[in-house]
Amino acid sequence: MSFTPSPLYAGIDGGGTRTRVLAVSSDGSCRAFATGNSSNINTAGPKAAAENLEATLSAATQSDQGISACTAAFFGMAGVNDSSAARLLTKLVAAFDKVQISRFEVANDTRALHAATFGLGSGIVLIVGTGSKCYGRTADGREWEAGGVDYLVSDEGSAHDIAIRGIKAALRAKDGRGTPTMLEQLIFDALRLSEYGEISQRLHQDSLENPGQPMTKAEVASLAKYVTQACLMGDAVARTVVEDALDSVLETVVAVARKLDFPATGLKLGITGGVVLNEPGAEIFKQRLQRVLPGATTQVPQIPPVAGAALRALALGGIQVTPTIIERLKASLPTDAS
């Protein structure tokens, strides 16, 4: 007797630290949730990323009969910033032999965040955490993104950007070119430098977390907490650093709004990431936002990005995503998926 598993729709949130997969039924109710290792092709490498993706997806979609299959899957992936990266990962997913997928799409993880914030409606979302990116989508499916290409050239307003700006301000103060700031002591003590010229060695040759190796993006970004600490303590230089960084990320929001013809007033902006959700960034961001987009309102995602990816998978599989489906998904989310 043959066995036909009931349809499953899988949302995948693939990041640099871990992979999350949420499998749902056609009515939006959650069926399974699984986590795995990194599936970012830039940090884990294509082979390891694909292996981690397949293992996690298989774990979430396996039936009682041991069959792993899903009708549709949406892969919201960190590190997929261009068409060549999307094609590479699409090819790797198509070669999976542990799980069968009838239809799937690979895209940047901002798409999953957008669905988690606005369902399949229109709006703009902004990620401002370790890195940053802005993405917008209209009701008729037009989309545009700005910023967040790479931390070396375009991660505006992110923790990494704030940390680099803070280091520069500390160096300028130390050698007499800039205004005195408590960032000197905070950052140089954090990096354990006996003289400020050693910062080059620390950045490129002798990381505190991985001696003998350069500092990673995350390790540099962690220094942003000293900038925000100084800002909260009233340091004028630190506050200027945060303000300038947030001004730069707001430029990406303005660019996306302009490209997609969103109204200049009353814009709905979904935000996520510690820089804009925690103080002092939250207060500063809202103030600067009103300067460039008067009347704009902010909101946080109503469900986690992996659930947003599941909504995109349902739509990809031909299911009309209604408010009832979204509410059922929210109500049945496992606690560890939040």
Whole-number pLDDT of residue 1 = 35
pTM of the model: 0.88
The mean per-residue pLDDT over the stretch 320-327 comes to 95
What share of the chain has pLDDT > 70, as a percent?
A: 98
The mean per-residue pLDDT over the stretch 279-303 comes to 95
- Residue 23 clears pLDDT 90, i.e. is over it: yes
- Is 332 among the domain residues? yes
Of residues 10 and 153, which shows the higher confidence score?
10
Residue 64 pLDDT level (bands cut at 50, 70, 90): low
Number of folded domains that form the chain: 1
The average confidence (pLDDT) of the chain is: 93
How does pLDDT run across 30-61, given as a tens digit for each residue? 999 999 999 988 888 999 999 999 999 999 99
- Is 247 among the domain residues? no
Residue 264 pLDDT level (bands cut at 50, 70, 90): confident
Whole-number pLDDT of residue 102 = 94
Tokens linked to 102: 């009838």
Tell how strand 69-77 and strand 100-108 pair up: parallel
Per DSSP, helices labelled H in the chain are 46-61, 83-94, 110-118, 159-174, 183-190, 199-204, 217-221, 224-232, 236-259, 274-277, 281-292, 305-316, 323-332
How does pLDDT run across 175-203, given as a tens digit for each residue? 999 999 999 999 999 999 988 889 999 99
What share of the chain has pLDDT > 90, as a percent?
A: 80
- Residue 91 clears pLDDT 60, i.e. is over it: yes
- Residue 3 clears pLDDT 60, i.e. is over it: no
255, 146 Cβ separation under 8 angstroms = yes
- Is 278 among the domain residues? no
N residues, the chain: 338
How does pLDDT run across 297-313, given as a tens digit for each residue? 999 999 999 999 999 99
- Is 86 among the domain residues? yes
Domain extent, residue 103, equals: 9-116+303-337
- Is 87 among the domain residues? yes
Tell me how far apart the alpha carbons of residues 228 and 25 are, in angstroms, rounded to a whole number.
43
- Is 244 among the domain residues? no
Q: Domain holding 94: CATH number?
A: 3.30.420.40
- Is 51 among the domain residues? yes
- Is 206 among the domain residues? no
Tell me how far apart the alpha carbons of residues 84 and 122 are, in angstroms, rounded to a whole number.
26
